[in-house]
Amino acid sequence: MNTLRDIGEDALIERLIDLVPRDSSAAAGPGDDCAVIDLGPHSPTLQLLKTDALVANVHYLPDSPPRAVGWKSVARVISDFSAMGGLPERFLITLALPSDTPVAWVEDLYRGIGDCLEKFGGVLAGGETSSVPLGSSAVISVAATGSVHREHLVLRSTAKLGNVLLVTGTLGGSIHRKHLNFTPRIVEAAWLVSHFKPTAMMDLSDGLAKDLPRMAAASGCGFTINHTALPITQGCTAAEAIGDGEDFELLFAIEPERVAELFASWPFPDLPLTLIGAITAPEQGQFLAGGWEHFT
Amino acid sequence: MNTLRDIGEDALIERLIDLVPRDSSAAAGPGDDCAVIDLGPHSPTLQLLKTDALVANVHYLPDSPPRAVGWKSVARVISDFSAMGGLPERFLITLALPSDTPVAWVEDLYRGIGDCLEKFGGVLAGGETSSVPLGSSAVISVAATGSVHREHLVLRSTAKLGNVLLVTGTLGGSIHRKHLNFTPRIVEAAWLVSHFKPTAMMDLSDGLAKDLPRMAAASGCGFTINHTALPITQGCTAAEAIGDGEDFELLFAIEPERVAELFASWPFPDLPLTLIGAITAPEQGQFLAGGWEHFT
């Protein structure tokens, strides 16, 4: 009998997607960072919808500081909104927790959620709590709405042959450092979409080795990577940089003739911006091994 | 050290609610069945937001038919939309599953989700999957948007002194029967809000003993129940009828002078409608023991 371990996350999603009625009006498919909803011609913005979950012993450890876990739960969703060029709005928090969870742990979790909402915008609109059996992992599920100006929307599926690929920040080693308190690149993404709108963009959550092939496949293209150019986090190997995941940096594609001006204009001196490769025809693409697989 | 078991769900929510930025524009507080969002004066409808979760060994058993579990996961949310007088629109499904879950189980779960969306309206807009450690309970988290015409919106917090209380259907014994395949009362609620708009309404998810005091408290009122009038499911005791939970029937308040005409007009011959009590001043209210508590 086939289990999730046998087929993995991407194949699972492909098998599920046709079993339910789909949103025919959606401006972005179910494979993008967020769902994109057109609220009608009177609205200057599109609505973004996103859901994400943190699981104890998968995305954080039982002794991780709960305030940082709360931050991470919301920051991951904000990172997805930024990847589309949008901003966060309203959040729904679903907690499934064992009944022996200390109240103080949950309060600190909420303080971390509050820290992140206050810093990047967004408000709590509702939530739900449920018990899980004693010994089961806690699950923190975050659903949210966001918005993006119509002309700022960037999909992951619209990279073009000949585009170059850039990433913000450095890659790898997140698990030892920033995975609990990373900064979603919402300021940088907002600047990009209004000054040098990428042809395609996504955030790096499962590692370049997993995410870049997704962008290329969604765009009907291949890709090539200059491994010597990868911005590797100090102390990490190249394999960790492409495979660790949870970098939450921006990966984007842009026309090559705009790159020089982009580098000259980039207003974030503390955040590296690196040209790492290019979009190719599908049959000329490389293969990248590695990346985070959920069901192993 | 205080745990969730010590304080229970309602007290937990009260302690969390002030730790995060709240939605000051919301037309309904975080205690209602859904969050209610005003998208602006150009929009004839308000947006509803809801999140809910099913947990293995809490809301269903590992050997429950997955297609029924999928139905239930979505029907619970649709029931919340109907409780506000609204309709479902877009759904986000988050699955947190052990990696030894059979693919066929997940496919059947999605077929059940599809059954319910097709029957009551609503489309899949996105989702997320994550692993949980082996042996941990699966969590199915459903977030959704809905809509309600401005003049049809009914809150739970607006019951008035002297209103009478009615419920649809029969109460109790859901666990032995319909909890996996119940019918959300969306048709009946839509009829009610356009013909006999209640002053307050909610759906009965945790049992009358838990939910009616919530409606009364949110309305700043008390309540009185005529125990001999309760519509008890055949084979159940009165205690089960008020305490079992998961009835997913409508509980609503309405002016007493409209009741005779409501009964005369009720167009659903197969669904009982029963007057069970009244809204009182807070100090004249009764106390009801029982109801489903999540953290025991």
pLDDT for A30 equals 61
Element counts in chain A: helices (H) and strands (E):
7, 10
Cβ <8 Å between B90 and A23:
yes
The reply to whether A14 touches chain B by the CB within 8 Å rule is: no
**Distance of residue B6 Cα from the nearest chain A Cα, in angstroms:** 9
Comma-separated ranges of CATH 3.30.1330.10 domains in chain A: 4-152
What three-state secondary structure class fits A239? helix
* Nearest alpha carbon to residue A184 among A78, A259, A96, A62: A78
- Subunit contact A128:B102, Cβ cutoff 8 A: no
Residue A14: what pLDDT?
84
Q: Around Cβ A216, how many Cβ atoms within 10 Å?
A: 25
Integer angstrom CA distances of residue B230 from A33, B185, B215, B276: 49, 19, 18, 6
Q: Domain A164-284: what homologous superfamily? A: PurM-like C-terminal domain (3.90.650.10)
What is the spatial distance between Cα B101 and Cα A18, in angstroms, rounded to a whole number?
20
Is the pLDDT score of A44 beyond 90? no
- Condensed to tens digits (0 to 9), the pLDDT of residues A73-111 reads 999 999 999 999 999 999 999 999 999 999 999 999 999
Residue B295 confidence class, pLDDT cut points 50, 70, 90:
low
For residue A45, the chain B residue with the least C-alpha distance is: B39
Residue A156's alpha-carbon distances to A29, A31, A201, A203, B145, in angstroms, are: 10, 9, 5, 9, 24
Contact criterion met (CB < 8 Å) for B107 and A40: no
- Cβ separation of B136 and A137 shorter than 8 Å? yes
What residues in B contact A115, CB-CB < 8 Å? none
Cβ of A49 within 8 Å of Cβ of B90? The answer is: yes
Other CB atoms within 10 Å distance of the CB of residue B64: 15
More confident residue, B16 or A139: A139
| A280 touching chain B per CB within 8 A | no
Write down the pLDDT at residue B170: 95
In this structure, of A159-173, B34-48, B219-233, B250-264, the range with the lowest mean pLDDT score is B34-48
Tell me: the pLDDT tens digits for A125-141?
988 899 999 999 999 99
For residue B208, what pLDDT is reported? 94
In the three-class reduction of DSSP (H, G, I as helix; E, B as strand; rest coil), residue A129 is classed as: strand
Apex CA A288: angle with CA A285 and CA A292, to 5°? 140
Q: Name the pTM for this structure.
A: 0.92
Closest CA to A259 of A281, A276, A241: A276
**Residue B30 confidence class, pLDDT cut points 50, 70, 90:** low
A175: Cα within 13 Å, side-chain hemisphere: 14
Q: Which chain A residues are closer than 8 Å to B136 by Cβ?
A: 55, 57, 132, 135-137
Sheet architecture: strand order including B87-98:
B35-37, B45-55, B139-149, B87-98, B123-132
Asked whether residue B43 carries a pLDDT value surpassing 80, the answer given is: yes
Q: What is the mean pLDDT of residues A205-231?
A: 93
Q: CA of A14: which chain B residue's CA is closest? A: B107
CB contact under 8 A, B107 and A16: yes
Q: What are residue A130's DSSP bridge partners?
A: A96
Give the span between the Cα atoms of A73 and A55, in whole angstroms: 10
Q: What percent of chain B has pLDDT over 90?
A: 75
Predicted pLDDT of residue B294: 66
Tens digit of pLDDT for each residue in B230-288? 999 999 999 999 988 889 999 999 999 999 999 999 999 999 999 999 999 998 888 77
Report the range of poorest mean pLDDT among A109-123, B11-25, B50-64. Answer: B11-25
Distance from CA of A179 to the nearest CA of B (A): 17
**Closest CB from B40, B102, B294 relative to A129:** B294
Contact B145 A145 (CB under 8 A): yes
* Contact by Cβ (8 Å): A138, A56: yes
> Which residue of chain A is at minimal alpha-carbon distance from B54?
A130
Give residue A193's pLDDT.
98
Count of residues making up chain B: 296
Contact B295 A131 (CB under 8 A): yes
Would the pLDDT of B156 be above 80?
yes
Q: Contact B132/A136, CB-based, under 8 Å?
A: yes
For residue A23, is pLDDT > 90?
Answer: no
Q: What is the ipTM of this complex?
A: 0.90
Residues of chain B with CATH 3.90.650.10: 164-284
Which of A20, A101, A114 lies nearest to residue B4, judging by beta carbons?
A101
Residues 64 to 103 of B: which have CB under 8 A from any A CB?
90, 92-94, 96-103
**DSSP per residue over chain B, as a string?**
--BHHHHHHHHHHHHHGGGS-B-TT-SB-TTSSSEEE---TT-SEEEEEEEEEEEBTTTB-TTS-HHHHHHHHHHHHHHHHHHTT-EEEEEEEEEEEETTSBHHHHHHHHHHHHHHHHHH--EEEEEEEEEE-TTSPPEEEEEEEEEEEGGG---SS---TT-EEEEES-BS-GGGTGGGT----HHHHHHHHHHS--SEEEE-SS-HHHHHHHHHHHTT-EEEE-GGG--BPTT--HHHHHHS-----EEEEE-GGGHHHHHHH---TTS-EEEEEEEE-GGG---------S--
pLDDT band at A8 (very low <50, low <70, confident <90, very high): confident
Angle value at C-alpha B87, between A81 and A12, nearest 5 degrees: 50
Of the CA atoms within 13 Å of residue B223, those in its CB half-sphere come to 29
Name the residue of chain B whose CA is nearest to A113's CA.
Answer: B20
Residues B132, A58: C-beta atoms closer than 8 Å? yes
Residue A150 CA to residue A215 CA, distance in Å, equals: 21
- In the predicted structure, residue A290 carries a pLDDT above the cut 90: no
At residue A292, the 3 state secondary structure works out as coil
In angstroms, what CA-CA distances link A175 with A59, A67, A180, A270? 9, 17, 8, 21
Cβ-Cβ contacts under 8 Å, B113 against chain A: 19-20
In which element (H, E) is residue A241 found? Answer: helix A238-243
Query: In angstroms, how far is CA B131 from the centroid of its own chain?
Result: 28
Which residues touch A151 (CB under 8 Å, ≥6 apart)?
Answer: none
The residues with which B142 forms a beta bridge, in sequence order, are B52, B93
B53 close contact with A: CB closer than 8 A: yes
Whether pLDDT at B293 is above 70 = no
pLDDT number for residue B190: 97
Q: Looking at A250-264, B15-29, B81-95, B274-288, which range is the least confident one?
A: B15-29
Quick one: pLDDT band at residue B296, thresholds 50, 70, 90?
low
Determine the pLDDT at residue B29.
Answer: 63
pLDDT at A21 exceeding the cut of 80: yes
**Residue B213 Cα, gap to closest chain A Cα (Å):** 18
Confidence of residue B71 (pLDDT cuts 50, 70, 90): very high
- Return all residues near A34 (Cβ < 8 A) that are at least 6 apart: A28, A48, A49, A50, A80, A81, A83, A84, A86, A146, B126
Strands lying side by side in the sheet with A87-98 = A35-37, A45-55, A139-149, A87-98, A123-132
Six-digit token pair at A246? 């949870």
Of B91 and B177, which is predicted with more confidence? B91
Question: How much is the pLDDT for B175?
Answer: 78
Read off φ and ψ for residue A5, nearest 5 degrees.
Answer: -60, -35
Class (C level, CATH) for B4-152: alpha beta
Set of chain A residues whose Cβ sits within 8 Å of the Cβ of B147: none
Cβ atoms within 10 A of the Cβ of B252, count? 27
Q: Is the pLDDT of residue A288 over 70?
A: yes
Test A16 with B130 for CB contact under 8 angstroms. no
Whether the CB of B34 is below 8 Å from some CB of chain A: the reply is yes
